[in-house]
Chain A
Amino acid sequence: MSKEELESQLSAMFDDELPGEECELLARRLARDEQLRERWGRYAAIGACIRGEPGVRLQTTLAGKVSAALKQESAQNGVPATDRHRHGWVRPWVTSLAGLASAAAVAAVAILWMRSEAPALVAHNAPVQNPPAAPSLQSLPATAPQLAAVSPAVRVHQSHEPDSYVTPAAVAQAPSLVPPTELANYIVAHSAYSGPLMRRNALSALVAGDSAAPQVNAQPIPAVVTGK
């Protein structure tokens, strides 16, 4: 390659207009060819003059100062800054792992605490709230009062998702209109797998079945709950 061609490439590279593969080769040469680097510095100075930038020098001492500071730093530390970073890749990895571990520990503690505290929370939690008036329920006037008795435990909100899935013991101990506590708990515990309407129907069926025949237990429930 002729000198002129090389310098033409340098000019194009300075403007970010040289193809990538040619840049690779020229960057290698530029990094070790002092004269070429001086020319590069003068191209920068010419541009700075045209743009009226302050403090233009043909070869400002800034590059030299930066280079000297980096050399001094690497001499003091034994390892160049970029090398320290390159070998220091383990540190961010370990840091993120430790972060994940602590997050998991906090989550585990929270789950354990919630499990132990959940029944008590529900017992404290439960302001009575009427269930939303679903057409299917209105068509079953006989079961409406029974559902009203069950509703404090289920606590259906506007989003139709229950706040808590545990029936308070007090409700379970109510007379025959209310289904057994374990059964109701079973339904609401598995309600994540059914829609709100299915859940309501299951509870209605349970309440109705319970009032008609108190011995009807969990048998119909699985079919309803898994029916989604």
Chain B
Amino acid sequence: MTADASDLSLVQRVQRGDKGAFDVLVLKYQHKVVKLVMRYVRNPAEAEDIAQDAFIKAYRALPQFRGDSAFYTWLYRIAINTAKNAVVARDRNPVDFDLDMTNNDESYEMQGRLKDSETPEALVLTDEIRTTVNAAIANLPDDLRTAIVLRELEGLSYEEIAATMDCPVGTVRSRIFRAREAIDSRLREVFEGGLGRAEEIG
């Protein structure tokens, strides 16, 4: 099995001009990139803007990507550089930067919450999604829950999970799929038309 094969096949499609494939990559990595950027900026809205810039830069640079490293490693480097540059630019031009908050982590958190509270529905929706997912995970059979948590939280490969759970790799693949399906089906139940709702809120 080729490591990073799925990303590479998507990257190759983008390089051949398929923009839809790039959307798939953005969907896969957007949360991770936003989380990464939030190490540099505390404001979620700003983090999302920077993540957007990073993805656009990645798209422009994608023809030069030769697959020497994993796609996400390459993307993360772009995101980090974009975040650093954004921080430097913001510090050079601190017009909308509140100096009172520079040395106060609590205030920083408050700033983040205040920015979030500008879209309270989005905040509520996020909490709702999280609650639904957690409840769905709690209701999973043990073997499915263990498999999905080892994969998503611990980042183990199927082979490592198979060794941990003492079962074949095919079984791991099936368990993770069934766990995802159970959670996804619960999400769709709760958010009937939820995608449209998320679009409206966003």
Q: Which residues of the partner chain B approach A17 to less than 8 Å between Cβ atoms? A: 1, 157-158, 173
Q: Which residues of the partner chain A approach B78 to less than 8 Å between Cβ atoms? A: none
The number of chain B residues with a CB under 8 A from chain A is 76
- Which of B's residues lie within 8 Å of A, judged by CB? 1-10, 12-15, 17-24, 26-32, 34-35, 38, 44, 47-48, 51-52, 55-56, 59-64, 122, 125-126, 129-130, 133-134, 137, 148-149, 151-153, 157-158, 173-174, 176-177, 180-181, 183-184, 187, 191, 194-195, 198-199, 201-202
Interface residues of A in 15-69 (CB under 8 A from B): 15-20, 23-24, 26-28, 30-32, 37-51, 53-67, 69
Query: Is B126 in contact with A55, judged by CB distance below 8 angstroms?
Result: yes
Query: Is A49 in contact with B134, judged by CB distance below 8 angstroms?
Result: yes
Q: Which residues of the partner chain A approach B130 to less than 8 Å between Cβ atoms? A: 49, 56
Interface residue A14 (Cβ < 8 Å from any Cβ of B): yes
Query: Is A30 in contact with B24, judged by CB distance below 8 angstroms?
Result: yes
Interface residue A130 (Cβ < 8 Å from any Cβ of B): no
Interface residue A117 (Cβ < 8 Å from any Cβ of B): no
Query: Is B129 in contact with A57, judged by CB distance below 8 angstroms?
Result: yes
Query: Is B5 in contact with A11, judged by CB distance below 8 angstroms?
Result: no
Q: Is the interface of A mostly helix, strand, loop or mixed?
A: helix
Query: Is B6 in contact with A43, judged by CB distance below 8 angstroms?
Result: no
Query: Is B9 in contact with A39, judged by CB distance below 8 angstroms?
Result: no
- Tell me how far the C-beta of B140 lies from the nearest C-beta in chain A, rounded to whole angstroms: 11
Also in contact, A31 and B38, with CB within 8 A (given A44-B28, A62-B30, A63-B23): no
The stretch that binds B, out of A78-86, A99-107, A166-174, A208-216, is: A78-86
Most buried by B among A13, A40, A41, A42: A42
Interface residue A12 (Cβ < 8 Å from any Cβ of B): yes
Query: Is A70 in contact with B56, judged by CB distance below 8 angstroms?
Result: yes
**Bound CA–CA A80/B52 (angstroms):** 17
Also in contact, A57 and B158, with CB within 8 A (given A31-B20, A37-B27, A41-B27): no
Query: Is A51 in contact with B152, judged by CB distance below 8 angstroms?
Result: yes
Query: Is B152 in contact with A50, judged by CB distance below 8 angstroms?
Result: yes
Q: Which residues of the partner chain B approach A73 to less than 8 Å between Cβ atoms? A: 56
Also in contact, A44 and B30, with CB within 8 A (given A11-B180, A27-B13): yes
- Tell me how far the C-beta of B34 lies from the nearest C-beta in chain A, rounded to whole angstroms: 6
- Tell me how far the C-beta of A18 lies from the nearest C-beta in chain B, rounded to whole angstroms: 6
Query: Is B6 in contact with A85, judged by CB distance below 8 angstroms?
Result: no
The number of chain A residues with a CB under 8 A from chain B is 59
Also in contact, A27 and B31, with CB within 8 A (given A16-B5, A18-B6, A49-B129): no
Query: Is A66 in contact with B56, judged by CB distance below 8 angstroms?
Result: yes
Query: Is A38 in contact with B24, judged by CB distance below 8 angstroms?
Result: no
Query: Is A14 in contact with B18, judged by CB distance below 8 angstroms?
Result: no
Query: Is B24 in contact with A45, judged by CB distance below 8 angstroms?
Result: no
**Bound CA–CA A49/B153 (angstroms):** 10
Query: Is B6 in contact with A27, judged by CB distance below 8 angstroms?
Result: yes
Query: Is A58 in contact with B198, judged by CB distance below 8 angstroms?
Result: yes
**Bound CA–CA A24/B156 (angstroms):** 23
Contact of B177 among A7, A26, A30, A65 (CB under 8 A): A7
The 3 A-B residue pairs with the shortest CB-CB distance, nearest first, are A61-B202, A31-B20, A48-B31
Query: Is A53 in contact with B31, judged by CB distance below 8 angstroms?
Result: yes
Query: Is B32 in contact with A8, judged by CB distance below 8 angstroms?
Result: no
